[in-house]
Amino acid sequence: DVKVTQSSRYLVKRTGEKVFLECVQDMDHENMFWYRQDPGLGLRLIYFSYDVKMKEKGDIPEGYSVSREKKERFSLILESASTNQTSMYLCASSLGGTVNTEAFFGQGTRLTVV
Amino acid sequence: AQTVTQSQPEMSVQEAETVTLSCTYDTSESDYYLFWYKQPPSRQMILVIRQEAYKQQNATENRFSVNFQKAAKSFSLKISDSQLGDAAMYFCAYRSLMEYGNKLVFGAGTILRVKS
């Protein structure tokens, strides 16, 4: 059974803090993703990675960075948290290649920046 | 860049009835994949159904089926015999075959309410 685990379900941080959101998958997937979910906007891609130490910007990378030192772990970093980064963050993983593979999601981290 | 549009922010259906959720997308590619994901209150995203663009036959998974109209770039989800457990947010998603990473592009979502 595929599992994508996010380190926290709820997180409250102060403006200006450096915030780490951790994601671990146990299915040896090549691809990993960080999405942000906001009402009325759906899921928007922040960053993704298709291999260890490889990363690509998504649609809204500003204010974020990522790290993938090991295949199973993909971290999202908010360098200096701001109130407009209050949101739900979803991590996902999938196999690589062009086969019709679904993405598997973690349960999300609801981040509040005060 | 591809875009996905879900024009219905909310829908309601009576238990045991049928409901259709709409999705349109914009792409210049000829080959791609389309998905419907369900997000219940637990927040866990679950794949409902998938469709390969090269297949003319509409995908079906038990009570869930799609109406895929490639020329119109339309991909609607039909839920038959609706159950209380179907209440959730539903997202339509597009995946390109041309780009690295198999990333998904999502619509804004449709909240489905099921009345008993």
Chain A nearest C-alpha distance from B82 (Å): 24
Please tell me whether residue A62 adopts helix, strand or coil conformation. Answer: coil
Band (A2; pLDDT cuts 50, 70, 90): low
Q: Considering only the beta carbons, identify the residue of B97, B103, B109 that sits closest to A42.
A: B109
CB A30, CB A96: distance < 8 Å: yes
* pLDDT at residue number A98: 64
Chain A nearest C-alpha distance from B1 (Å): 10
User: In this model, does residue A23 exceed pLDDT 90?
Assistant: yes
Structure tokens belonging to residue B26? 């914009």
User: Average model confidence (pLDDT) for chain A?
Assistant: 93
Q: Which residues of B touch A46 (CB under 8 A)?
A: none
Q: Which residues of A touch B6 (CB under 8 A)?
A: 42
How many Å apart are CA B107 and CA B90, to the nearest integer? 9
Q: Which residues of B touch A96 (CB under 8 A)?
A: 101-102
CB A93, CB A33: distance < 8 Å: yes
* pLDDT at residue number B101: 66
How many Å apart are CA B113 and CA B116, to the nearest integer? 10
* pLDDT at residue number B22: 98
Do B101 and A56 make contact, defined as CB atoms within 8 angstroms?
yes
How many other CB atoms are there within 10 angstroms of residue B17's CB atom? 13
The arithmetic mean of pLDDT across residues A47-74, rounded, is: 94
Task: State whether residue A101 sits within 8 Å of chain B by CB.
Answer: yes
User: In this model, does residue A43 exceed pLDDT 70?
Assistant: yes
* pLDDT at residue number A95: 85
Do A42 and B108 make contact, defined as CB atoms within 8 angstroms?
yes
The angle formed by the CA atoms of residues B49, B54 and B58, to the nearest 5 degrees, is 40
The arithmetic mean of pLDDT across residues A43-47, rounded, is: 96
Tens of pLDDT, residue by residue, chain B (116 residues):
889 999 999 999 999 999 999 999 999 998 899 999 999 998 999 999 999 998 889 999 999 999 999 999 999 999 999 999 999 999 999 998 777 667 899 999 999 999 99
- The residues with which A20 forms a beta bridge, in sequence order, are A77
Q: Considering only the beta carbons, identify the residue of A43, A88, A97 that sits closest to B106.
A: A43
* pLDDT at residue number A26: 95
How many Å apart are CA B57 and CA B67, to the nearest integer? 9
Do A44 and B106 make contact, defined as CB atoms within 8 angstroms?
yes
Task: State whether residue A105 sits within 8 Å of chain B by CB.
Answer: yes
Band (A100; pLDDT cuts 50, 70, 90): low
DSSP letters spanning A74-100: EEEEESS--GGG-EEEEEEEE--SSS-
3-class SS letters over chain B: CCEEECCCCEEEEECCCCEEECCEEECCCCCEEEEEEEECCCCCCEEEEEEECCCCCCCEECCEEEEEECCCCEEEEEECCCCHHHCEEEEEEEEECCCHHHCEEECCCEEEEEEC
